[in-house]
């Protein structure tokens, strides 16, 4: 019996606003039955700082620093905290909420879809783990994503390497996330606002301790190799065919 065929997209680097609009366009098309479930991979040009839907830009972002560094500021349709998109690959997966085998609850869906990331990493010879579904103690309110893992987010050697967020609308689920190649705590410290130098120093120390990119950990895979593994990993976990463009 032939497997279901999804749509696979691998876009060139695009501005942050265009990337977010494309994710929402795919959501609408899937909801209307005009497109099959879709896995999209993409990068950002110029680099961008994306904010969670509910974050207050004026309290989180140093706009002057972003302009000086050539970093766009864009708002995601999903929740979560700020993510700097400059040395990474972003994935976006869109499917109906009632898709077979997809848990209906948010955390269950996170765990299920994170299985595609785990499978991809294993194909690359990287042994990841999922962050436990338990609350940590008091964390720093830096406004940034990679200073602590959320439940079922991907870790390698105890460090968060991928951060994801989810949106449900018109019976369709969108989950997208950033897979880090390198993590630059100093760049985060430039573009985010902090109450004072002590909080900034503490944040830098925590970010370096809790997060990392694949290259920082010694896994020098190319972006294309990572993309191929993601298409294969999600195909494997979902038991579908997701063609890798190109």
DSSP class of residue 11 equals P
Q: Which residues pair with 49 in a beta bridge?
A: 73, 84
Task: Using alpha carbons only, give the angle 125, 154, 218 rounded to the nearest 5 degrees.
Answer: 45
- The pLDDT value recorded for residue 131 is 82
- Measured CA to CA in angstroms, residue 7 lies from 93, 147, 154 at distances of 10, 33, 24
Cis preceding linkage at 68, omega within 30: no
pLDDT at 149: 54
Report pLDDT for 138: 40
pLDDT digits (tens, 9 = 90+) for 80-90: 888 999 999 99
Task: Kindly report the CATH number that applies to the domain delimited by 7-238.
Answer: 3.30.930.10
Predicted local distance difference test score (pLDDT) of residue 205: 86
pLDDT for the residue numbered 151: 75
Tell me which residues of the chain have a pLDDT lower than 50. Answer: 136-143, 145-148
Is 176 in contact with 184 (CB distance < 8 Å)?
A: no
| CA-based nearest residue to 23, from 178, 243, 235, 198 | 178
- pLDDT per position as a tens digit, 89-106: 999 999 999 999 899 998
pTM: 0.91
Task: List phi, psi (to 5°) of 85.
Answer: -105, 95
Closest CA to 112 of 234, 29, 245: 234
Judged on CB neighbours under 10 Å (0-12, 13-18, 19+), 236 is middle
Residues noted as catalytic = 145
Confidence at residue 134, expressed as pLDDT on a 0 to 100 scale: 64
């Amino acid at each position: 019996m032939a497997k279901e065929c999804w749509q696979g997209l691998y876009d060139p680097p695009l501005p942050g606003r265009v990337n977010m609009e494309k994710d929402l366009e795919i959501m609408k098309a899937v909801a209307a039955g005009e497109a099959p479930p879709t896995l999209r991979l993409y990068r950002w040009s110029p680099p961008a700082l994306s904010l969670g839907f509910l974050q207050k830009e004026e309290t989180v972002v140093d706009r002057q620093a972003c302009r000086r560094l050539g970093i766009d500021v864009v708002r995601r349709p999903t929740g979560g905290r700020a993510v700097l998109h400059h040395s990474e690959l972003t994935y976006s997966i869109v499917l109906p909420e009632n898709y077979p085998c997809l848990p209906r609850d948010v955390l269950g869906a996170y765990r299920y879809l994170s299985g595609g990331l785990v499978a991809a990493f294993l194909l690359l010879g990287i042994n990841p783990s999922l962050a436990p579904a338990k609350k940590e103690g008091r964390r720093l309110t830096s406004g940034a994503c990679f200073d602590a893992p959320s439940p079922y987010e991907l870790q390698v050697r105890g460090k968060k390497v991928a951060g994801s967020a989810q949106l449900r609308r018109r019976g369709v689920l969108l989950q997208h996330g950033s897979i880090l190649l390198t993590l630059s705590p100093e760049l985060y410290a430039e573009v985010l606002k902090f109450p004072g130098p002590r909080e900034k120093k503490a944040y830098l120390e925590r970010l370096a301790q809790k997060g990392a990119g694949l290259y920082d950990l010694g896994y020098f895979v190319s972006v294309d190799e990572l993309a191929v593994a993601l298409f294969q990993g999600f195909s494997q976990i979902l038991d579908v065919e997701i063609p890798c463009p190109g």
